[in-house]
Chains A and B, each alone.
Chain A
Amino acid sequence: MSPTHIQSIGLLIDICAAAILVTAFLIVSSRNLGFYIRLFALQSIFLGLVALLVVIGYGEMHILIAAVLTIVVKAVAIPIVLTKMIDRIQVQKEVGFSINITVSLLLCGGMVIVADSVAQSILAVQEGGGSAVSRVLSVSIALMLIGLFIMTTRKKALTQIIGLLTMENGVFLSGLSITYGMPLIVEVGIFFDILIAVLILGVFVFRINKTFESINIDALRSLRH
């Protein structure tokens, strides 16, 4: 494949990675649960695109299935499940923040810098670093950190699911960037795992809502008494 070809694939991967990071930040900046789900679907589409670009640019055919699965499972199936859940429990807004949005955004900005310094030290020991995909490693680590941050600072159970899924997207992306994806059987296992996890968590959230009339996880504290 010609060098200019590789270069333009690299540019497209960079754009998709930037878009993934932006969707993560938009999730942090918003308080509308429906919007979270749409953003997550968008993020997964861009993730699928990165995987497709790896297939095209580096000829790793086994990623093709993972790419298709990403789009089908994460961009279509999981958002549908989550949207149905919102419709059933009639909750639209995230109101419980342990840290307000403005400060959250700044902290997440700081996390990107931390993620980059971590990624640089990983890439320094890896041979053949510096390809377009390995540059994405910083973005993937940042995505994991932001996902964790969403899980720890938001109080609605549904938002925490979104945080978990964002982290999972980060893990998939880091797999892509370091080794061009994990073996297919592992990937398929993870997708199945995630889908089932979301289904179970969905039932869980519904039950929490029924018992406590809220999906605010602070309400779970009353179980102690």
Chain B
Amino acid sequence: MNQIVTTIATSLAHLVLVLAIAPLVTGVVRKTKARFQNRRGASVLQPYFDLAKLFTKEVVVSSVASWLFQATPYLVFGSMLVIALLVPTVITPVPLHWVGDIITVIYLFALGRFFIALAGLDTGSAFGGLGSSREMSIASIVEPAMMLAIFTASVTAGSTNLSIVVERLSASPLAMMNPAHLLAFAGLFIVMIAETGRIPVDNPATHLELTMIHEAMILEYSGRYLALIEWASQIKLVVFLALLSNMFFPVGMAATWSPWALTVGVGAFCLKVTVLAVIVAVIESMNAKLRLFRVPELLMVAFILSLLALILYFIIGA
């Protein structure tokens, strides 16, 4: 009984941390971008204010929309919450690590994407359908690349359970420098850019019909539904940054619940995520969005990098 209570309490703490820092990470990316454009930019806390405002606003739903349209925000947000519970952030193993492994995480991402694409089609607006079809065609290349990259890491560690992968990797620092591992990191980084809808694949700041992908699908949403979806995509960014930093460079992660280890863990996590967020912002500032027909080429590079990683693992070995 006591164990159940601790598991629930620690899981909640873990979840609250991810939920709480998600808007901040987006804020850091936006602030860095603004600095690059010689603007002062909004405060890094602005995404919190945006969410708070959206939650108090009235919801407007199209009269032709079905229940699917209203259920989707909760489904998307829910799948992100479950993913956030499974991905190690500051401590490993995560309290609920036995619930699901990497494959569960990949399919939960797919579940969220599937419903958001359906919701895009549901209102019958032309933009929604356009966004959904683009999102799905990109996803068809992104998903295999993501699986290959993640499987390379799990082959190196000998397990598909995220917490065990992280644990085994932090036990052997030399494996982090394995070329297969570095290539898989590069592959997953491109996948992250595509999955979170950032430049050069998608532009999160635009509502121009020629360029938007993710924004086109959620164009009909307003009020608390929009807030949930925005928050979910912010969590997605954090989860991907956590995957990138902890699956490939699990330095400084806490292994016990002692206060000192936790402090180091939180510090290391914040540092790694901030560094990656700044890198994302720098890439966004230095590149223009790719033409839609060029996107598959970039994603194919990610796929090939991940494939090479897996091949190199067997050529060179670990």
Contact = CB atoms under 8 A, between A and B. Distances in A.
Given A11-B174, A102-B296, A116 B305 contact: no
A95 interface: no
B308 A102 contact: no
A22 B304 CA distance: 9
B47 to A, nearest CB: 34
B315 A105 contact: no
Contacts of B317: 135
Interface stretch (B176-184, B222-230, B231-239): B176-184
A17 interface: yes
Contacts of A105: 297, 300-301, 303-304
A17 B174 CA distance: 17
B316 interface: yes
Kindly name the residue among B180, B308, B316 whose own CB sees the greatest number of chain A CB atoms within 10 A.
B316
> B-side binding surface: helix, strand, loop or mixed?
helix
Contact of A102 (B178, B180, B297): B297
A101 interface: yes
A105 B317 CA distance: 23
Given A18-B182, A135-B316, A25 B300 contact: no
Contacts of A106: 300, 304
A14 B178 contact: yes
Given A11-B177, A15-B177, A102-B296, A138 B304 contact: no
A95 to B, nearest CB: 14
A112 B311 contact: yes
Contact of B305 (A11, A15, A22, A139): A22
6 contacts: A21-B312, A22-B308, A25-B304, A101-B300, A105-B301, A109-B308
Given A18-B308, A25-B301, A109-B307, 10 more contacts: A15-B177, A17-B316, A18-B183, A18-B312, A21-B312, A22-B186, A109-B304, A112-B311, A135-B316, A139-B315
